[in-house]
Copies of this chain bind each other. A is one copy, B any other.
């Protein structure tokens, strides 16, 4: 409903004057800050900031902002990225046989909950086509076997590059991506794991939860790193269970969690609200 804004995400060693310098940079060019949040990791002495301001009336043209800001950034040794709220990110979804997250993402996309385009949905089973195409989305099938994994991943990456994909969502995708694939999209591949990580990492978390007799189950969305189920956590949620819940009941309850937690993580990512650092995330909600 408003004009486009600029969003600056940054982190750097903590020191005096950071907030003043950054807000001055915006104010002196006549920018109106509409949202700002910062955090300082006391242990690591790292400063994190997300700051959003209106482009309307800002003295620097949008395509020159980075060139101007980089001097400030260099001075404070910042890692930073600049985004615009009218840019529509391009998101690819990977799915396998468990369809609730895929469906949920497609529905939310259709209902306008995500500011994103979905140029392609990728699956390893041809049966997904008939579910995806009625949503007006393109489906591409890349069956994976141990023998074909390397070559298929190469083709997938080529397609993702061609489609200029910004973010990849693994909607209960049952294949483990290779290190080569992951390195192409650092902190841009979002996974949903159907347990409250770090509990019940690995296969069959519903069964593990049932066997252990926990009274609460969870779901975890995280960025994919080379170490399985160990990437920076973006969002988690939980629900109570009891001795009455069978593994099938656990699955049914968990699926609702998975849909909500994955959708929340995707939205936070698309709105540039996440700053990963090491094995953790700062999430500016």
A174 interface residue per 8 A CB criterion = no
B213 touches A281 (CB 8 A): yes
Chain B residue at minimum C-beta to C-beta distance from A209: B198
Q: Which of B34, B37, B99, B199 contacts A111 (CB 8 A)?
A: B99
Which residues of chain B are within 8 angstroms of A16 by Cβ–Cβ distance? 27, 30-33
Which residues of chain B are within 8 angstroms of A28 by Cβ–Cβ distance? 20
B213 touches A237 (CB 8 A): no
A68 interface residue per 8 A CB criterion = no
Could you say how many copies of this chain the assembly holds?
Answer: 4
A88 interface residue per 8 A CB criterion = no
Q: Which of B21, B30, B240, B252 contacts A113 (CB 8 A)?
A: B252
Q: Which of B111, B212, B233 contacts A103 (CB 8 A)?
A: B111
B237 touches A216 (CB 8 A): yes
For A17, A281, A285, the residue with the greatest tally of chain B CB atoms inside 10 Å of its CB is A17
Q: Which of B18, B37, B212, B233 contacts A37 (CB 8 A)?
A: B37
Which of the four size classes fits the interface of chain A?
Answer: 35 or more
Please, how many angstroms separate the alpha-carbon atoms of A31 and B16 in the complex?
7
Q: Which of B21, B40, B213, B214 contacts A34 (CB 8 A)?
A: B40
The contact string, 1 if C-beta is below 8 Å from chain B, for chain A 119-135, is 00000000000000010
Which residues of chain B are within 8 angstroms of A70 by Cβ–Cβ distance? none
Please, how many angstroms separate the alpha-carbon atoms of A185 and B42 in the complex?
36
Which of A143-151, A156-164, A175-183, A241-249 is the interface stretch? A241-249
Q: Which of B200, B218, B243 contacts A282 (CB 8 A)?
A: B243
B244 touches A216 (CB 8 A): no
Chain B residue at minimum C-beta to C-beta distance from A246: B42
For A104, A232, A244, the residue with the greatest tally of chain B CB atoms inside 10 Å of its CB is A244
- Residues of A whose CB lies within 8 Å of any CB of B are 16-21, 23-24, 26-28, 30-42, 99-100, 103-104, 107, 111, 113, 134, 196-200, 211-216, 218, 232-238, 240, 242-244, 246, 252, 256, 260, 263, 279-283, 285
Q: List 8 A-B contacts (CB under 8 A).
A: A16-B27, A36-B36, A36-B38, A100-B111, A197-B199, A216-B236, A216-B238, A244-B285
